[in-house]
Structure 1
């Protein structure tokens, strides 16, 4: 049982299985002594809460990076589009209001730092070494590669890189995260630690 986990966590919009969430909490807790956590792709904050609770335990920080306009698969007409997250006033997806409400309800306003931007912009002048990076952004090959190239090398030695939606079998899910996971694993810079369902976990050498 994770201390402080909201009773309604299962009602928060997201695509994270319970065992994956537990693994995020565990590896965040393990890596936070090395530096803060950065999450790429927060959506409505479900995964952020698990990371944030680990960081709160240690008086550390989670940087939650997302432009909050939805990934390719969240747009109107796509398979994961949610009409409740569509903002008619801006004629587009907007997950930031839902994200902020969930983070506040979880008591994590003093732990989670929202970074409302894309990877390339946020990484342009980034200087903070990171104990853990969790990549769960856009699932096109271009988006997944950009997230990896922008953030993987900010993980300190001994730190953790996690990538979500890693599916070796194309019948189970998209292949871009799997391709990036293989790239990281075969780079000589990371070693595979574990895979929990579709969550790939690597350690920086």
Structure 2
């Protein structure tokens, strides 16, 4: 990964550990050649830098989808809440300005395309095949399930479905991503290709989602 983009990713606001970010970059380099890369859950753009760097290297593009009002775990009163991201005019979270600044500063505006809206609403309108899908939006059961059901059917055969924050042990973190990751494996449509920390890379091997 180019040093200037690695520096930008390291210093961007977000929750992606370095080891997992580099694994995400390497995965996107492998599968981005097959079609666009789609990220569900943008927040402030940290992981989009890793994906954008891979898109530049492979000649692909990143579509990143988020309503930018924040998932449950970053709302006021929760552990990951950042009060600097609250828009005082509306009293709501708004990570979009920080995201735009992050991607512009990294020089990735040509590689990273933002769609602002709810994942399920955008998925209902989406028709293009995807080389890679990265699910990292809301981490409770309903949003992870909607992200999987709405977007995974668009992953091409040989493409990748990637989950973040997969914790088999409940003591390590929430279980919703783990449950949907297990569902994907049990569907027969995907086989596990790689593991890096809480990152799980599944490769599409057939129909059956």
TM-score normalised per structure 2: 0.95
Query: How far, CA to CA, are the matches of 1:104 and 1:36 in structure 2?
Result: 20
Cross-structure match for 1:41: 41
Is 193-202 or 5-14 further displaced after alignment? 5-14
Unpaired runs of 5+ in structure 1?
A: none
| 1:146-185 alignment, distance < 5 Å | 146-185=146-185
| 1:20-39 alignment, distance < 5 Å | 20-39=20-39
Query: How far, CA to CA, are the matches of 1:8 and 1:46 in structure 2?
Result: 8
* C-alpha distance 157-4 of structure 1, shift in aligned 2 (>3 A): farther
Task: Give the Å deviation of 1:8.
Answer: 4.2
Cross-structure match for 2:7: 7
Task: Give the Å deviation of 1:121.
Answer: 0.9
Cross-structure match for 2:74: 74
RMSD over aligned CA atoms reads 1.1
Query: How far, CA to CA, are the matches of 1:71 and 1:12 in structure 2?
Result: 18
Is 32-41 or 54-63 further displaced after alignment? 54-63
Aligned residues: 205
Cross-structure match for 1:106: 106
Structure 1 moving runs of 4+ over 3 Å: 1-4
Cross-structure match for 2:58: 58
Task: Give the Å deviation of 1:6.
Answer: 4.9
Cross-structure match for 1:136: 136
Query: How far, CA to CA, are the matches of 2:6 and 2:30 in structure 1?
Result: 22
Give per-residue Cα distances to partners, 1:40-94, cap 9 Å, x unaligned.
0011000000000110122221001111000001111111110111111121000
Secondary structure of 1:5's aligned partner? helix
TM-score normalised per structure 1: 0.97
Query: How far, CA to CA, are the matches of 2:14 and 2:127 in structure 1?
Result: 30
Query: How far, CA to CA, are the matches of 1:35 and 1:6 in structure 2?
Result: 23
Residues 70 and 93, structure 1, Cα contact 8 Å, conserved in 2: yes
